[in-house]
């Protein structure tokens, strides 16, 4: 197993941006597990598969292919050969991804893939249960958070940049609802691992947040 940095946290806390910056500066491979669940949610929506249709979900998982590529300095997400980087960020997919993530066979399948990815490379992996479930023995564990208002504002800005027009109020409601669902689900709920370092990024820039994470990782490597 390679060197593993687990980054967990609430929706819109900066996990994606931070892992990308840290990966580039510390030569780690960034893996966005949230995008993987979004891909499954998108595939289910496109095939009109409901949460309770376990057989159809299992069949879909056997044939699904999720890939990450760096293209023109941007990380692209491909689902069965199609670039779905923007598709998986729509409100419809965002709302469906949370309940999809509670389906046991989906989590088991994706966790297996995530562990396979980290077998021979050094990774920084972000999600909601990385430090508690996927890699409970990760070398470094970070838990990112910020106020719901700040996280909603970040998502609003991010959506605008990606050409997605969603009202701020709708995003804020989605963030609050997502927090509740993620922290109250029975299977691998969003909780801070006891040995994770908590970072409240409210009022921090992306660079400040990334530098804080980099410092924590470097200190861990130095004292290892």
Domain boundaries along the sequence of the chain: 4-222
Sign (positive/negative) of CA torsion 179, 77, 37, 45?
Answer: positive
| CB-based contact 140:5 (threshold 8 Å) | yes
The whole-angstrom separation of Cα 29 and Cα 118 is 9
**Does the structure show a pLDDT above 80 at 224?**
no
> Could you read off the pLDDT of 145-196 as tens digits, one per residue?
999 999 999 989 988 888 888 899 999 998 999 899 889 888 888 999 999 9
The whole model's pTM is what?
0.81
**Does the structure show a pLDDT above 80 at 72?**
no
pLDDT tier at 131, thresholds 50, 70, 90: very high
Helix or strand holding residue 2 (H, E):
none
Task: Give, to the nearest 10 degrees, the angle between helix 54-63 and helix 104-117.
Answer: 20
Q: Does domain 4-222 have CATH number 1.10.357.10?
A: no
Output the 3-class SS for 51-91: CCCHHHHHHHHHHCCEEEEEECCEEEEEECCEECCCHHHCH
Average pLDDT on 185-210 reads 92
Percent of the chain at pLDDT > 90 equals 67
Structure token digits, residue 94: 């965002």
pLDDT value, residue 150? 95
């Amino acid at each position: 197993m390679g060197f593993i940095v687990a980054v967990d946290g609430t929706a819109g806390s900066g996990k994606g941006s931070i892992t990308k910056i840290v990966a580039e500066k510390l030569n780690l491979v960034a893996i966005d597990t949230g995008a993987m669940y979004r891909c499954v949610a998108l595939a289910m929506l496109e095939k009109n598969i409901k949460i309770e249709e376990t057989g159809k979900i299992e069949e879909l998982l056997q044939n699904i292919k999720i890939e990450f590529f760096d293209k023109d300095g941007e990380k692209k997400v491909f689902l069965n050969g199609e670039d779905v980087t923007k598709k998986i960020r729509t409100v419809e997919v965002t709302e469906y991804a949370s309940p999809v993530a509670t389906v046991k066979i989906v989590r088991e399948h994706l966790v297996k893939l995530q562990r396979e990815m980290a077998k021979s490379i050094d990774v920084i992996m972000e999600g909601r249960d990385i430090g508690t479930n996927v890699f409970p023995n990760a070398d470094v564990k970070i838990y990112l958070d910020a106020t719901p208002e700040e996280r909603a504002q970040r998502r609003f800005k991010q959506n605008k940049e990606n050409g997605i027009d969603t009202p701020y109020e709708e995003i804020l409601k989605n963030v609050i609802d997502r927090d509740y669902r993620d922290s109250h689900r029975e299977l691998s709920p969003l909780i801070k691992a006891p040995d994770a370092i908590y970072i409240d990024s409210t009022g921090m820039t992306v660079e400040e947040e990334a530098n804080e994470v980099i410092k924590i990782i470097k200190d861990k490597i130095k004292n290892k």
